[in-house]
Amino acid sequence: MRLTTKGRYAVTAMLDLALHSEAGPVSLADISERQGISLSYLEQLFSKLRRESLVISVRGPGGGYRLAQTSAMVSVAAVVDAVNESLDATKCNGAGDCQDGQICITHHLWQDLSGQIHEFLSGISLADLVARQDIQAVCRRQESELDLQNIVCSDLS
């Protein structure tokens, strides 16, 4: 089982949104700059997140995105599910045709693991992650690095 870039980036972007939402709507450009995720990729992810009612877009000056519910109500599993990311550890994608069209001897083991992973991620909310000191430290470092870049860039103009 491997969580692909799509699922990782969706969780990263939603966590960034939760970390910065107190200041109002957050632009995808800001998330892109802080997290190093391409803007076009974020647009694709947020289209899916919006369809699943996890985020709301705010138009106009100062617009961007905000969480559709409190960060305590949004689980990591919901974010991964919203972007159609599979947490399936079976090699047959749960179909049960792993070995020449039949179920293999370890199918149920990997299927149970998939369930455990989903259950684990369902028990972690964005608010849980926002409250972690290590995540807050990374957030402060990212902001500090961007402030330094902005100073350097404005000095060059």
Q: What is the pLDDT along the chain (157 residues), one digit of tens a residue?
A: 567 889 999 999 999 999 998 889 999 999 999 999 999 999 999 999 999 999 999 998 888 999 999 999 999 999 999 998 777 888 888 888 888 888 999 999 999 998 999 999 999 999 999 999 999 999 989 888 877 655 444 444 3
CA distances from 41 to 28, 45, 47, 79, 146 (A): 10, 6, 10, 15, 21
CA-to-CA distance for 43 and 30, rounded, in angstroms?
A: 12
Helix (H) or strand (E) holding 77: helix 76-82
Question: 84 — phi, psi (to 5°)?
Answer: 60, 35
Are the C-beta atoms of 41 and 13 separated by less than 8 Å? no
